C-alpha cells in the first residue's frame, strides 16, 4: 500500500513572492525591474533549497507575473496566488513603493516584507511605511531588514536576512498546512483531563481547522465487521512478531495473562493501529472491500485516542497504536509519522502538530511527571548530577505511547538525533525497534491488557518541550522550554525509574536555565508548567514556535529563548518594547484569533 499516494489530500500550500516596485515610469521603474525580480527569484531559490513539505518534497514558491507598482498589479498577483493555492506571502523590494497600493491585503495569510538595505534606493523607507499601513489596517506583518548595507547590484541574501526569511516561511507554511484540516477526537474525555475536552471554537478560530468525532465503539464495529485491509493486517502482524520484542511482564503472577490471551491482544492492537490510521486519512483499499464511506477518512492532520477508561477497562490499551503511528516507520517501511495524542489530549496534540510541521520529525508525548532535585537524586542513588543535569531533572514518562524515534537511535555525525523520515535509514529504524521492548500492560491501570512501549532516550539531544493551555477569559497560551536529554548511569536510571512504572518509556530532560522567572531553576520550570502533559521535539525550535504563535495570535507565557532570536510581527513593538512578554499578550488580544 503506497500511503503517500493518498495520505496528503490536495496539494500543499505554496509561498507567494511579491516583488514590489516604484510605480513611476520613464526611468525609475525601468531601472529597478531586474534587481527587484532578482530579489524574488533569490528568495524562491533559498526556500526551495532549505524547506520541505511533510512528504519530503521541496517547498514551492509562486512569483507574481510582474513587479507590483500599484493596485492593479496587486490585484493580479492576488488572483494568481488564489489560483495557485498560496498560503504564505513574502513581499520583497529594493526601493520606495506606494505602501497601501502594493501591500498584501489578505487577512488570513501570514505576511512578511523584506526591504533591501541599500543606500541607492530607500527600501527601508518603504518597509517602514508599509508596515505602518499593515498595523493601521489591523493586518500585522513581519518586517525583514538586513543589518548591513548592501551594494545595489548584489544578488546575495545576507545571513541575518536568510534566517528571518526561512523562519517566517517555515512558520507560515505550518499555519497554511493546518488550515482546512481536522482534529479527529477518537472517543471523548479521558479521566477528567481538561485537554481532552476538545474545543471546536479554538480549532476553528485559531487554527482554521475542523473538529471531527467518533465514538470508541467504532473500533469494535470495524474489527467485528472486518473494516480494515486483511492482507495488510497479516503483513503487519508478521512484522510485529519479528520486530516488536515482548518484554518482562511486571504484573503479579496471579494477574498475568496466558500466552493465548497475549497473542490475541497483539492481534487486537495491530488492528487498532490500522483502524486509527484509516480513520485519520482514509484508505483506498477499503473501497475494494466494499466500504467506500469509511475509505474517505476524516482528513485529520492530528488525532487523539481516549482509551482510558471506558475502552481500557475491557479492551487492550492504545499504547501500541499511538507509539507506532507517532513513529517514522512501521510494516510499510519508513514513512512520515502520524500525530496522535494520548488520552485524547487535544491541546498536547496541537503542540505535537506544531513541532512536527516546523521540523518534519516525530514528536514525543509524555507526562511532565517528576522534578528530581540534585539533592533528591543523590539521597536516593548516591549519584551527584553534573553537566546539563547539574540543576536537576524532569522525568518525562507516560503510558508507552511515545514515538520510537525518541529512543535517539538515529545518528548524525555520531550524535543521537531525530530525523525527517526521508533521512532515516533502514538500519536506524531497526535500531529504534531493537531499543524498545513491549511490556505487558499493568492490569491495575489497564484491565483490558495490551502492551506498553519501554525505552530510554539517549542523552545529549537538544530538545524543546512545549504545551498549549486554554484559560477562561484569556484563550490559548503557549509554554516553551528548551533543553537537553540527559543520560544517567544505568543503575541510577533503574533506581529512579522503578519508583514509577518501569514499563513505560523515559526521557530525562534538563531545561536550559536563565536564572530568571520560570527558568530560575528546574523546579520553577516544573512548578510553572500549565498541565500534566508536554510535547517534546528534537532541536531547539523555541524561536520558530514563538514566530508561529504570533501568526496565530497565541501569546507565550514562558520561554527560555534568547531575546535576539525572537521574531514577531513589527506591530508587536507598538504594544511596548521594554518587556516583550507583556507586549505579546496585548498584541494577541488586540488583533484576535487569525480566523475570527
Residues with a known catalytic role: 343, 367
Task: Give the alpha-carbon dihedral of 233, 239, 242, 245, to 10 degrees.
Answer: -80
Q: What angle do CA 7, 12, 15 make, to 5 degrees?
A: 165
Q: Has 249 been labeled as part of a binding site?
A: no
Strand segments, DSSP code E, in 94-141 are 111-115
Which residue has cell 526556500?
A: 47
DSSP 466: E
| Residue 307, burial from CB neighbour count under 10 angstroms (0-12, 13-18, 19+) | buried
Task: Give the alpha-carbon dihedral of 92, 93, 94, 95, to 10 degrees.
Answer: -160
Kindly report the backbone phi and psi dihedral angles of residue 278, in degrees, each rounded to the nearest multiple of 5, phi listed first.
-65, -35
| Residue 527, burial from CB neighbour count under 10 angstroms (0-12, 13-18, 19+) | exposed
Measured distance CA(456)–CA(432) in Å, rounded: 11
3-state secondary structure of 274: helix
Q: Has 313 been labeled as part of a binding site?
A: no
Measured distance CA(572)–CA(584) in Å, rounded: 6
Peptide bond into 309 cis (omega under 30): yes
Measured distance CA(403)–CA(363) in Å, rounded: 6
Please choose, from the candidates 487, 489, 526, the residue with its C-alpha nearest in 3D space to the C-alpha of residue 508.
Answer: 487
Distances (CA, A) of 89 to 14, 23, 171, 265, 382: 9, 21, 12, 50, 56
Q: Which three cell numbers stand for residue 349?
A: 496534540
User: DSSP string covering 54-97, please?
Assistant: TTSPBP-EEE-SS-B-SHHHHHHHHHHHHHTTEEEEEEEESS--
Measured distance CA(485)–CA(506) in Å, rounded: 10
Measured distance CA(111)–CA(108) in Å, rounded: 9
Please choose, from the candidates 575, 572, 532, the residue with its C-alpha nearest in 3D space to the C-alpha of residue 553.
Answer: 572
Measured distance CA(360)–CA(363) in Å, rounded: 9
DSSP 423: G
CB atoms within 10 A of CB 64: 21
Q: Has 533 been labeled as part of a binding site?
A: yes
Distances (CA, A) of 55 to 44, 298, 354: 19, 19, 16
β partners of residue 417: 410
Measured distance CA(99)–CA(104) in Å, rounded: 10
Contact assessment for residue 184 and residue 304, using Cβ atoms and an 8 Å cutoff = yes
Edge-to-edge strand ranges of the sheet holding 86-93: 61-63, 14-19, 86-93, 111-115, 142-144
Binding site residues for Mn(2+), as ranges? 343, 367, 533
Binding site residues, as ranges? 343, 367, 533
Amino acid at each position: 500500500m503506497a500511503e503517500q499516494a493518498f495520505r496528503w489530500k490536495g496539494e500543499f500550500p505554496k509561498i507567494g513572492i511579491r516583488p514590489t516596485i516604484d510605480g513611476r515610469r520613464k526611468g525609475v521603474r525601468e531601472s529597478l525591474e531586474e534587481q527587484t525580480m532578482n530579489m524574488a527569484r533569490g528568495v524562491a531559490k533559498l526556500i526551495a533549497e532549505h524547506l520541505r513539505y511533510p512528504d519530503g518534497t521541496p517547498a514551492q514558491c509562486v512569483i507574481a507575473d510582474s513587479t507590483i507598482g500599484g493596485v492593479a498589479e496587486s490585484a493580479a498577483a492576488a488572483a494568481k496566488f488564489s489560483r495557485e493555492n498560496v498560503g504564505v506571502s513574502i513581499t520583497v523590494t529594493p526601493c520606495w513603493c506606494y505602501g497601501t497600493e502594493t501591500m498584501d491585503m489578505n487577512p488570513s495569510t501570514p505576511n512578511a516584507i523584506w526591504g533591501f538595505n541599500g543606500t541607492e534606493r530607500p527600501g527601508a523607507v518603504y518597509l517602514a511605511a508599509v508596515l505602518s499601513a499593515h498595523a493601521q489596517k489591523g493586518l500585522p506583518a513581519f518586517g525583514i531588514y538586513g543589518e548591513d548595507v548592501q551594494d545595489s547590484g548584489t544578488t546575495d541574501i545576507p545571513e541575518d536576512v536568510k534566517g528571518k526569511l526561512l523562519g517566517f516561511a517555515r512558520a507560515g507554511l505550518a499555519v497554511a498546512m493546518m488550515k482546512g484540516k481536522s482534529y479527529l477526537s477518537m472517543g471523548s474525555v479521558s479521566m477528567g483531563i481538561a485537554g481532552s475536552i476538545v474545543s471546536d471554537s479554538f480549532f476553528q478560530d485559531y487554527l482554521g481547522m475542523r473538529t471531527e468525532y467518533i465514538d470508541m465503539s467504532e473500533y469494535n464495529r470495524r474489527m467485528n465487521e472486518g473494516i480494515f485491509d486483511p492482507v495488510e493486517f497479516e503483513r503487519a502482524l508478521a512484522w510485529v512478531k519479528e520486530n516488536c520484542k515482548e518484554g518482562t511482564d511486571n504484573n503479579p503472577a496471579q494477574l498475568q495473562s496466558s500466552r493465548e490471551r497475549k497473542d490475541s491482544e497483539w492481534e487486537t492492537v495491530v488492528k487498532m493501529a490500522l483502524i486509527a490510521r484509516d480513520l485519520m486519512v482514509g484508505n483506498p483499499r477499503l473501497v475494494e472491500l466494499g466500504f467506500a464511506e469509511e475509505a474517505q477518512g476524516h482528513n485529520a492532520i492530528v488525532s487523539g485516542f481516549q482509551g482510558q477508561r471506558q475502552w481500557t477497562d475491557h479492551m487492550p490499551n492504545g499504547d501500541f497504536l499511538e507509539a507506532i503511528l507517532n513513529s517514522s516507520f512501521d510494516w510499510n517501511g519508513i514513512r512520515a509519522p502520524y500525530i496522535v495524542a494520548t488520552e485524547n489530549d487535544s491541546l498536547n496534540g496541537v503542540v505535537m502538530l506544531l513541532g512536527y510541521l516546523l521540523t518534519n520529525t516525530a514528536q514525543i508525548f509524555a507526562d511532565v511527571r517528576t522534578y528530581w532535585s540534585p539533592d533528591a537524586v543523590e539521597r536516593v542513588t548516591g549519584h551527584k548530577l553534573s553537566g546539563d543535569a547539574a540543576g536537576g531533572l524532569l522525568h518525562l514518562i507516560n503510558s508507552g505511547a511515545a514515538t520510537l524515534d525518541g529512543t535517539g537511535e538515529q545518528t548524525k555525525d555520531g550524535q543521537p538525533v531525530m530525523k525527517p523520515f526521508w533521512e532515516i535509514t533502514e538500519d536506524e529504524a531497526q535500531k529504534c525497534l531493537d531499543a524498545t521492548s513491549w511490556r505487558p500492560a499493568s492490569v491495575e491501570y489497564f484491565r483490558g491488557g495490551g502492551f506498553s512501549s519501554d525505552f530510554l532516550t539517549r542523552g545529549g539531544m537538544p530538545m524543546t518541550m512545549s504545551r498549549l493551555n486554554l484559560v477562561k477569559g484569556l484563550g490559548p497560551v503557549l509554554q516553551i522550554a528548551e533543553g537537553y536529554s540527559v543520560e544517567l548511569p544505568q543503575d541510577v536510571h533503574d533506581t529512579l525509574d522503578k519508583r514509577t512504572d518501569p514499563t513505560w518509556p523515559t526521557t530525562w530532560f534538563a531545561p536550559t536555565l536563565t536564572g530568571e522567572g520560570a527558568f530560575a531553576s528546574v523546579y520553577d520550570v516544573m512548578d510553572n508548567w500549565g498541565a500534566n502533559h508536554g510535547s517534546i521535539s528534537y532541536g531547539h525550535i523555541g524561536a520558530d514556535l514563538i514566530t508561529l504563535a504570533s501568526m496565530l495570535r497565541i501569546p507565550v507565557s514562558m520561554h527560555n529563548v534568547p531575546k535576539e532570536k525572537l521574531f514577531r510581527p513589527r506591530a508587536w513593538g507598538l504594544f511596548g518594547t521594554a518587556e516583550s512578554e507583556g507586549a505579546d499578550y496585548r498584541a494577541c488580544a488586540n488583533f484576535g484569533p487569525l480566523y475570527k
